[in-house]
Every structure is written in C-alpha cells, then in structure tokens.
C-alpha cells in the first residue's frame, strides 16, 4: 500500500507541474503579465514552461526523482515570494500551497521514487528500467 501511495503522490505532484506547463502554453500572456508586473522579463515564461514540463515528465517516469524533486521544492519556495501579499487572501492561499507542495517535493527528494518507476532508478524498481530487466542495476 505504501508503494502505491508514493506512486500516487509522485503522479499528483507531477500533474500540478504538467498543468502549469499547459496553462503557460495556452495563455503565456497571463504568466507574462504576472512576471512583468514584478519587474521580471516576460520571456521567462518560456523557460518556466519548459522546466515545468520536463520536471513533470521526469516525476511521472521516475527519472532522477530525487534531484528533480529537490529542485521543484526550491522552485516552489522561490516562486512563493511573488504571492506573499498579506492583503490578498487569494495570493496568500497560493503562497501557502506552494510551501505545501515544496514539502511534498522534499519528501520525494528524501525517499526517492518508490518501487514503481519507468526508466528511472530505484533499488526495488518495477517496470521498464535502464537495463531492460524490470530492475535497475545497483
């Protein structure tokens, strides 16, 4: 059961970042306006979109989960700064949610991808892996 929970948690976190990438792709002007309003270049939308998409794919497949999850935790904590607007309850909600997501990412970074991975590395991996046997070489 706990391995299924790790997989479910990993996939749910991945879906947040996949949705963020899709949202930026569909309406880059919304994210660009937020960035511009903070004095940051509009063009940062594109690296953020790519980062969100690549990180989501890595989490889904189980590729480099520990470093990807650690970088996502840092990303969430950093981007939460932009939502720290105490007079705006909606922005404060996003601020707190970013820290909660960072916490989930830190748990993934500490414990790794769990047993169920595709192309990733886990000592007890099940599924497709680098050596094609269903288990990675340790």
pLDDT tops 90 at residue 12: yes
Residue 130, φ and ψ in degrees, nearest 5? -60, -35
Q: Which residue has the higher pLDDT, 49 or 121?
A: 49
Whether residue 129 lies inside any domain: the answer is: no
Mean pLDDT of 117-124: 66
State the average pLDDT for the chain: 88
Structural domain of residue 22, as residue ranges? Answer: 2-111
Provide the domain count of the chain. Answer: 1
Among 67, 63, 73, CA closest to 13: 73
Dihedral angle over CA of 62, 5, 115, 134, nearest 10: -80
pLDDT exceeds 60 at position 130 = no
Segment 83-96 mean pLDDT: 94
């Amino acid at each position: 059961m706990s391995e299924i929970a790790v997989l479910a948690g990993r996939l749910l976190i991945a879906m947040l970042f996949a949705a963020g990438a899709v949202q930026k792709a569909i309406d880059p002007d919304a994210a660009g306006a937020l960035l511009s309003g903070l004095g940051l270049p509009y063009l940062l939308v594109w690296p953020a979109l790519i980062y969100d998409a690549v990180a989501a794919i890595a989490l889904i497949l189980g590729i480099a989960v520990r470093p990807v999850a650690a970088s996502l935790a840092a990303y969430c904590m950093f981007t939460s700064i932009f939502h720290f607007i105490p007079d705006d309850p909606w922005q404060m909600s996003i601020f707190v949610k970013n820290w909660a997501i960072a916490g989930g990412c830190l748990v993934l970074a500490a414990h790794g991808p769990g047993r169920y991975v595709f192309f990733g590395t886990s000592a007890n991996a099940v599924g497709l892996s680098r050596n094609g046997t269903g288990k990675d070489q340790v």
